[in-house]
Amino acid sequence: MLIRAGYEISLECEKETAMIALLSVHPSRAGDLRSPARVVNTAGAPTREFVDQFGNLCTRTSAPPGTLTLSTDFVIEDSGLPDVVAYDAQEVPLVDLPDDHLKYLLSSRYCEVDRLSDVAWSLFGDTPRGWVRVQSIVDFVHRHIAFGYEHASPTRSAWEAYRERVGVCRDFAHLAVTFCRAMSIPARYCTGYLGDIGVPASDAPMDFSGWFEAFLDGRWFTFDARHNVPRIGRIPLAYGRDASDVAISTAFGPNVLTGFRVWTDEVPAHAQPRPAYHERAAE
């Protein structure tokens, strides 16, 4: 399966403003790209890339005063298969966890393991260990939180999501991640593209999506407490402890978001991949 995806994001800056963007396809999927996925900007601002502590590909730039539009448009190959389901997957004993996975057991900015540990054990302490326990967490969070874009808040934590019982995809992921960590299961937050492939199309504007991964049987498995069904066509951008590690843009100065558009569509079998956005703009 081929998927065409991309974005166009515009920011208005009062003065020259340094910026970091996590808008590149995650390096783990670089081999699947069938057209370039470079981050380009309309202001001609110089950019350079680096890899952060979580293995994400980041872009640094300095936006001039005025409007800066970041964009990309690419085609990527996907298996066309839904998220893997492995009911027999077991937890990895803590003493055997890789050193760099230990951070995914700890509290972080939006995932207060300490505040929700007692709640987690009261809810899931009697569930079978491994996949079944993680799925029990996902089922609970899916039922507990009411989804609504009107509930979006950039500062809502897992504890607040648990108490307020409303949120968007990041809140579902944060609460599930926190419960997993409280039960000694490493869990990490993921942001990326998730289009309406294999499911009824939504009338809501396309946006980036947030889900999470749990470490079982020596590998990371995808879970989605917002949708709670295996989905097709996830394209990860970045992984981290929570949303604070994977903000799509961080500007070190005043700025206003003036435009935001994301697309993720399956390319029909009879169609050829279209030229990337930056190639069309250059013509």
Report in angstroms the alpha-carbon separations of 234 from 36, 145, 188: 18, 22, 16
Question: What does DSSP assign to residue 38?
Answer: -
Per-residue model confidence (pLDDT) at position 93? 97
Question: What does DSSP assign to residue 199?
Answer: S
Place of tokens 């039922």: 143
Domain boundaries, the chain: 2-79+247-282, 94-232
Token pair of 13 as six digits: 């800056």
CA dihedral sign of residues 162, 168, 169, 171: negative
- When the pLDDT of each residue in the chain is averaged and rounded to a whole number, the result is 93
Measured CA to CA, the distance from residue 280 to residue 204 in angstroms comes to 27
Mean pLDDT along residues 117-125: 98
Report the DSSP beta bridge partners of residue 250: 20
- Per-residue pLDDT band for 270 (boundaries 50, 70, 90) equals low
- Predicted confidence (pLDDT) per residue in 127-146, tens digit: 999 999 999 999 999 999 99
- Predicted confidence (pLDDT) per residue in 196-212, tens digit: 999 998 888 889 999 99
Measured CA to CA, the distance from residue 141 to residue 8 in angstroms comes to 32
Res 276 pLDDT > 50: no
Res 277 pLDDT > 70: no
Res 255 pLDDT > 90: yes
Neighbours of 12 (CB within 10 A): 15
Res 120 pLDDT > 50: yes
CATH code for residues 94-232? 3.10.620.30
pTM (predicted TM-score):
0.92
Measured CA to CA, the distance from residue 219 to residue 214 in angstroms comes to 8
- Can you state the percent helix, strand and coil of the chain, rounding each to 5? 25, 35, 40
- Predicted confidence (pLDDT) per residue in 215-250, tens digit: 999 999 999 999 999 999 999 999 999 999 999 999
Per-residue model confidence (pLDDT) at position 67? 92
- Per-residue pLDDT band for 76 (boundaries 50, 70, 90) equals very high
Per-residue model confidence (pLDDT) at position 271? 66
Per-residue model confidence (pLDDT) at position 280? 35
CATH class of 2-79+247-282: mainly beta
Mean pLDDT along residues 171-193: 98
Per-residue model confidence (pLDDT) at position 273? 47
**Residues 28, 56: contact at Cβ < 8 Å?**
no
Per-residue model confidence (pLDDT) at position 159? 98
Token pair of 40 as six digits: 């380009």
Please calculate the CA angle 84-87-88 and round it to the nearest 5 degrees.
Answer: 115
Per-residue model confidence (pLDDT) at position 44? 84
CA 33 to chain centre: 18
- Predicted confidence (pLDDT) per residue in 14-51, tens digit: 999 999 999 999 999 999 999 999 999 988 888 999 99
Measured CA to CA, the distance from residue 243 to residue 248 in angstroms comes to 9
Measured CA to CA, the distance from residue 17 to residue 64 in angstroms comes to 7
Measured CA to CA, the distance from residue 193 to residue 265 in angstroms comes to 10
